Structures are given as structure tokens and as C-alpha cells.
């Protein structure tokens, strides 16, 4: 049997070099653990690289996901101080707008409930909306400003967190098996370039999280949910906040497999405007959907008429890792000792990454988690028959 060298042995192996895996590596290393990160593609080559970089509390009602988001909001700010130029972090805030009085009433009810959980939201009267966003369409019924919303450049965030972690990073190295001992406990992973050994493996494989769980002998019902983003030519900062229509919140929480779109528009420091959001469950089909892009453009120009004369330079697809109850799986696998999960964040993974990484690091070291992790228990799903 070939002998392992020191570069093949670590305290923990993180599978997935997206932002969630990077955050797990960052906090595990800060806790004193040696970390190896493995990904079959490049850093941020999956869901992270296809994301808009949203760090949102505005779209989450009171409950476990909002608690996770509020903790992450604080941790992102702390990481920006501790990791130089970590991510182009931009605390620009969000603006949720209503097209009718009925929608505005629903936003008020939602914001009141959020306030009890620690979210700050300021009602903006219809005649003051253009103070926040001068190019908004006329005739909107009002909106709410969420100063806690922010944005990062997601691929840059993942890369710089990995660098700050000091972890050994092996990209282009697919995990083909999870190594286990006689009692089924994790012993490491197998890759085409050799075996890597560790007593703990963290599943941060995003939409492929279910596949990795099965390799280890576990089960996690992760499904891909496809979404498209339209990107415009570079512009002066015509959109100051993340701006979205009130129906976006309902679409995020929907269980429908059909195509759904809601207007989400935001500027970037580099100039292009990002336009979303669409959702549909079509497996890993990357086929360009002309209908989805048409709806995105229609929704964006309804919010910002000036965009009707702006050129879209490209569109890209990504897959959000979807779990049936819309909560991520964070914690130990009940069937595979040594396997921990950190996946299933759907479209919120970039925003929720720091809290996820901190929880995983605390669990790895036997420390108290920063919040109640029971709602995220990977064992909450029945095993497949």
C-alpha cells in the first residue's frame, strides 16, 4: 500500500471551492484545523460563479433562515475588515417596490414581522421613491428600503477567502469516492490523482451535494433549480440599490417547478447592470431559454424604463441547490460518521456562507454553534427508499 505524504493528510477535507466551501475552510482554519479543499472544477466554477453576489435579509421572513442571514450580515462586515479587499463588499442596501396598494400592504405586514427579528426596514412613500432611485418608473405605490442588504463579487469573495484560509486547494480534481473505515466512518476521499485522508469531510458541493452524499453512503435530496441573469453594457451608476418587485419574495419560497420570473435589478461597481431573477426545475439543462430572458428584460424595463434603450451583452445560467423545505443542510450526517453537510442554500448561499462556515467550524471542533442548528439538521429528510 502506498504511503501517504503530509500533503495528502488534513484534519478536514472540504469538497467544493465555491463561496460556502471557502467560508467553511476559512473558519475551520481559524479554529486551528488543517484544511484541504477539493473541487472538480475551478474556484467558484459552479453556483457561486453564476451568482449575483446578493447578501439579503429583505427577502426572508422571521425564522431560521433569517437568523442565519442576520448572523452572516455581521460576519461579512467582520471579514471585510479582517480579509483585505475580501470581496468588493458593497453595503448599498435594498429597495423592494410595490406596484399596487394591495402589494404595498403586504410589504408593510412583511416588514413589521421582520422588525421583530432584528431587520431594519424603512417605508418609502410613492412620491419619495425617486429620491432613492431617480430612474424608477412612475406610478409605483411605494416601497421599503433595507439598509442591511449588501452585495459582494462572489467569485472574488471565494478566491480571497480560500487564500486567507491558508488551505491546500486542489482544483480540477473530482471526488470519485468517499473513503470509509470498518464502521462506516469517513477516512477521506479518492480523486484521480490520489487519495486524500482526513477524519472529517464537509460536503459543500452545492447542486451536486446529493451526489456526494450518495458516494459516502448518505442521502440528501438536493435538486438543481436553474436561473438566468442578463448583463447589460457598462453604464454610469443608474441603479443605486438592489431593486426588486414585491413578488420576488413569493417566488423564492415557491415549490413550483415551472418557470417563474420576478424583476430584480442592480448596478455593479464595474458598470454593468445585472437583471434577474428566474427559477425553474429542469435538471442540469443549460439550454438558453428565450422565454426566460424575454421575461427578465420585460420586468427590468417595467421597473427602469431607461433600460429599454440599453444593450444586453450576455446572459448566463446557474443552478441553485434546492432542498424541499427551502432551508440548507448544515451539520453532521446521521448515517455517515465524520461527514458534515453545508449545502442546499438555493439562491442565498453567497449571503449565508459566513454563518454556515462558522457553524461547521464550531461543530468540527466541538464548540457551541452560534445559533440553533436543529432546523438545518441534514437528518430531517427521510432516507430514499
Q: Which domains does the chain have, with CATH numbers?
A: 6-52+155-221+325-380 (3.50.50.60), 94-147+223-322 (3.30.9.10)
How many whole angstroms separate alpha carbon 156 and alpha carbon 15? 19
Show the low-confidence residues of the chain (pLDDT under 50). Answer: 1-4, 85-86, 385
| Terminal Cα-to-Cα distance of the chain (whole angstroms) | 37
**pLDDT number for residue 2:** 42
DSSP code at position 6: G
For residue 242, the cross-strand partners are 94, 266
d(CA 107, CA 113): 10
Q: With beta carbons less than 8 A apart as the criterion, state whether 274 and 166 touch.
A: no
Longest dimension (CA), the chain: 74
What's the grid cell of residue 79?
471579514
**What is the per-residue pLDDT for 333?**
97
Q: pTM to 2 decimals?
A: 0.94
Q: What's the DSSP call for residue 280?
A: B
Amino acid at each position: 500500500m502506498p504511503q501517504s505524504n503530509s500533503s495528502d493528510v488534513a484534519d478536514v477535507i472540504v469538497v467544493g471551492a465555491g463561496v460556502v466551501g471557502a467560508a467553511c475552510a476559512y473558519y475551520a482554519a481559524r479554529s486551528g484545523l488543517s484544511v484541504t479543499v477539493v473541487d472538480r472544477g475551478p474556484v467558484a466554477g459552479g453556483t457561486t460563479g453564476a451568482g449575483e453576489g446578493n447578501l439579503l435579509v429583505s427577502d426572508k421572513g422571521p425564522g431560521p433562515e433569517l437568523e442565519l442571514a442576520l448572523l452572516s450580515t455581521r460576519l461579512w462586515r467582520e471579514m471585510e475588515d479582517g480579509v483585505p479587499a475580501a470581496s468588493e463588499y458593497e453595503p448599498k442596501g435594498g429597495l423592494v417596490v410595490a406596484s399596487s396598494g394591495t402589494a404595498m400592504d403586504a410589504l408593510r405586514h412583511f416588514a413589521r414581522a421582520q422588525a421583530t427579528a432584528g431587520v431594519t426596514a424603512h417605508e418609502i412613500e410613492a412620491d419619495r421613491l425617486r429620491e432613492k432611485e431617480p430612474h424608477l418608473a412612475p406610478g409605483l405605490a411605494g416601497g421599503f428600503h433595507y439598509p442591511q442588504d449588501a452585495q459582494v463579487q462572489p467569485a472574488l469573495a471565494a478566491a480571497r477567502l480560500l487564500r486567507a484560509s491558508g488551505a491546500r486547494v486542489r482544483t480540477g480534481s473530482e471526488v470519485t469516492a468517499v473513503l470509509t473505515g470498518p464502521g462506516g466512518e469517513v477516512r477521506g476521499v479518492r480523486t484521480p490523482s490520489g487519495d486524500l485522508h482526513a477524519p472529517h469531510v464537509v460536503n459543500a458541493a452545492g447542486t451536486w451535494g446529493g451526489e456526494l452524499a450518495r458516494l459516502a453512503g448518505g442521502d440528501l435530496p438536493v435538486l438543481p433549480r436553474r436561473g438566468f441573469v442578463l448583463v447589460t453594457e457598462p453604464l454610469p451608476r443608474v441603479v443605486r440599490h438592489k431593486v426588486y418587485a414585491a413578488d420576488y419574495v413569493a417566488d423564492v419560497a415557491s415549490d413550483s417547478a415551472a418557470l417563474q420570473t420576478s424583476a430584480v435589478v442592480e448596478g455593479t461597481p464595474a458598470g454593468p447592470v445585472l437583471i434577474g431573477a428566474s427559477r425553474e426545475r429542469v435538471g442540469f439543462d443549460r439550454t438558453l431559454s428565450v422565454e426566460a430572458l424575454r421575461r427578465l428584460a420585460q420586468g427590468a424595463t417595467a421597473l427602469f424604463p431607461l433600460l429599454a434603450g440599453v444593450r444586453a451583452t450576455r446572459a448566463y445560467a446557474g443552478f441553485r441547490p434546492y432542498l424541499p423545505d427551502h432551508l440548507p443542510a448544515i451539520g453532521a450526517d446521521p448515517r455517515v460518521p465524520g461527514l458534515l453537510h453545508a449545502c442546499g442554500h438555493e439562491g442565498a448561499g453567497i449571503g449565508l456562507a459566513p454563518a454556515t462556515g462558522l457553524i461547521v467550524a464550531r461543530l468540527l471542533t466541538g464548540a457551541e454553534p452560534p445559533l440553533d442548528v436543529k432546523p438545518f439538521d441534514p437528518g430531517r429528510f427521510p432516507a430514499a427508499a
